[in-house]
Amino acid sequence: MRAAAAKASESITPVVIDAVDLSTATVYCEYQVTKDKSEKGRLDIVVDLPREGKEINPLLVFEHKVFAEQSGTQTDVYVGWAKENKFSQPPVLDGEHMPLMVYVAPAAPEQPPAKPFVVFDYDQLSQWLDDVLANTGINRHGRFLVNEYKACLSQLELFGNPAAQLAQTALTSEPECHRAIEVLRAGGEGLRRFDHHVARHAKAFAKLGIETKRVKSKGASATVSELRSRVEGVFKGSSWQLSGSTGSLAVDTSVFTSCFKAGVANGGFEKYGWPYMRFYFARPENGEASVEFYVGVVYGDKEAREKTKARVLRAAEALRGAIDKAGLDYAKGRKGNKIAICKLSMPTIKNAADDIPELLAKHKSEIDKAAAFFQSLRPIVDHWLAEEFPMAMADWKPEA
């Protein structure tokens, strides 16, 4: 009976995906599905669930069109590839099934994608992202990324040529106009319905010298930029690497990961996961911000990764003890993978539009506090990583 039902369904449903363990999933961007290397032969996103004996076991496929329509038979090519690379994952499914194929666009496309692609417009996508944010289990880093992506979908910047920028500067000098522009920037349900009209006439705008585009994020954060300039010198020439976007700052060290790597056999990370240690700071929101110092584990098999997580949490507890011993109170009240946290109050920054260089002086003391967090913790952490952590890891054999 189950096998008959499986054959009746050509592609996977969202209900089936909910029952699949995604802990070992791999995400590919711009995945090449044809030999000619053309743009119409590259899928935007493929979610693969590795399975022995299969080169690729695609579970989800996404094609994202912002302003352009699909070129020719582009989605037919993708469907043909999916038919040749069906998903199989017993005991969740009997037999083989085409992956769930999703076509993301601002609005319903004039040229519908080939079946079984399902269209997911920006209104639906934004609602789904709201549901993701409502999940209390999402961590702060994930919440930041989802909010940035929502900004991509909701904020409009329809005129990007130099003349328009000058006009905008003139307009913003008038209080009433400034308030109106802020409403437009905020986007929302009232503005999304016009997106497809702008997309449809993008070529005409281009011929008039007007660039139509979406804001790629909430914009650059002056606070993040200032803090980055303060801490670059703190970590220069060390094992720590700075990364992050214009709206966030991340600082990671390879030493923590290397100690774990020494405790597993070659290729063990594929099974036991990849531990990391990170400082993280995201743009202020609603008058608050914080620098967090934590550890975590990514990738790996679900059961094997739990062994690594348990060891990582023991390491976090030991490092909190070393910080307390040094007389710092950052770690007090923290537990789990959070080692230390520095909370900041920036009441003048209610949203991204307030996070500008002109307001930096008003919360200089809080930036000083954040910079001191990095400066005071780094020597303690470095000493612990060099002297105490390797000895604590010497007897770790997760295979046992």
> 333 or 283: whose pLDDT is higher?
283
> Predicted confidence band at 229 (pLDDT cuts at 50, 70, 90)?
very high
Report CA 400 to chain centroid distance, whole Å: 34
Q: What pLDDT does residue 268 have?
A: 64
What is the pLDDT averaged over residues 202-209?
A: 58
Report residue 309's pLDDT band, with 50, 70 and 90 as the boundaries. confident
Q: Which residues pair with 281 in a beta bridge?
A: 249, 291
**pLDDT band at 273, cuts 50/70/90?**
confident
**Cα 382 from chain centroid?**
28
Averaged pLDDT for residues 271-289 = 87
With a cut of 70, say whether residue 199 has pLDDT above it.
no
The pLDDT score that the predictor gives to residue 183 is: 46
Determine the pLDDT at residue 38: 61
Q: What separation in angstroms does the CA of 344 have from each of 219, 304, 361?
A: 21, 37, 15
Tell me which of 332 and 217 has the higher pLDDT.
Answer: 332
- Flag whether the pTM goes above 0.85: no
- For 108, other C-beta atoms within 10 Å of its C-beta total 9
d(CA 44, CA 14) in angstroms, rounded, equals: 19
Of the pLDDT bands very low, low, confident and very high (cuts 50, 70, 90), residue 200 is low
pLDDT interval class at 160 (50, 70, 90): very low
pLDDT at 213 over 90: no
Q: Residue 269: its pLDDT value, please?
A: 64
Whole-number pLDDT of residue 197: 56
In this predicted structure, what is the pLDDT of residue 190?
45
Q: Where does the pLDDT of residue 1 fall: very low under 50, low under 70, confident under 90, or very high at 90 and above? A: very low
Average pLDDT in the 282-299 region? 88
Average pLDDT over residues 206-233: 72
Taking residues 24-40, report their average pLDDT. 80
Contacts of 289 (CB under 8 A, 6+ apart): 223, 281, 282, 283, 343, 344, 346, 349, 366, 370
pLDDT for residue 203: 63
Among 224, 197, 227, which residue's Cα sits nearest to residue 212?
Answer: 197
Tokens coding 79: 């469907």
What's the count of helices (H) and strands (E) in the chain, helices before strands? 16, 12
pLDDT above 60: residue 267: no
Give the long-range contacts of residues 253-257, CB within 8 A, separation 24 or more: 253/277, 253/381, 253/385, 255/385, 255/386, 256/295, 256/315, 256/385, 256/389
Q: Which two tokens stand for residue 367?
A: 């930036």
pLDDT at 31 over 80: yes
Q: What confidence tens digit (pLDDT) does each residue in 41-94 have? A: 889 999 999 888 888 999 999 998 876 666 668 899 999 999 999 998 887 788
Distance of alpha carbon 150 from alpha carbon 218, whole angstroms: 9
Summary mean pLDDT of the chain: 78
